[in-house]
Amino acid sequence: MTGIMRGSSLQVFTLLLIISVCLGVWDCPKKIDEKLKQCGVVMVTWTDWFSRDDPMDGVENEDLAGQVKNMSLMCQTSRLGAQCRVKNTDNYVVSGADTFGEVKLKFPWLCVPDRGLRCLNSEQDPGVTCPDFEIRYLCPDRLPYTGSMSSRQDD
In this predicted structure, what is the pLDDT of residue 57?
A: 93
In this predicted structure, what is the pLDDT of residue 147?
A: 41
Cβ density class 102-111: b for 16+ within 10 Å, e for less: eeebebebbb
Summarised one tens digit per residue, pLDDT across range 105-122 is: 888 888 888 888 999 999
Indicate the average pLDDT of the chain.
72
Summarised one tens digit per residue, pLDDT across range 111-152 is: 888 888 999 999 998 988 999 999 998 887 755 444 433 333
Measure Cα distances from 144 to 13, 29, 36, 54, 141 in Å. Answer: 20, 18, 10, 36, 9
What is the three-class DSSP state of 82?
strand
What average pLDDT score do residues 82-110 get? Answer: 79
φ, ψ of residue 9 in degrees (nearest 5): -60, -40
φ, ψ of residue 117 in degrees (nearest 5): -140, 145
Residue 36: closest CA among 48, 25, 28: 28
What average pLDDT score do residues 15-44 get? Answer: 59
What is the three-class DSSP state of 85?
strand
More confident residue, 40 or 56: 56
Give the start-end residues of each E strand in the chain.
44-46, 59-63, 81-86, 92-93, 99-100, 103-104, 109-112, 116-120, 133-140
What average pLDDT score do residues 80-86 get? Answer: 89
pTM score, two decimals? 0.62
Residue 120's identity, in one-letter code, is L
Residue 86 confidence (pLDDT) above 70:
yes
In this predicted structure, what is the pLDDT of residue 27?
A: 54
Q: Is the dihedral of CA 20, 24, 25, 28 positive or negative?
A: positive
Residue 68 confidence (pLDDT) above 90:
no
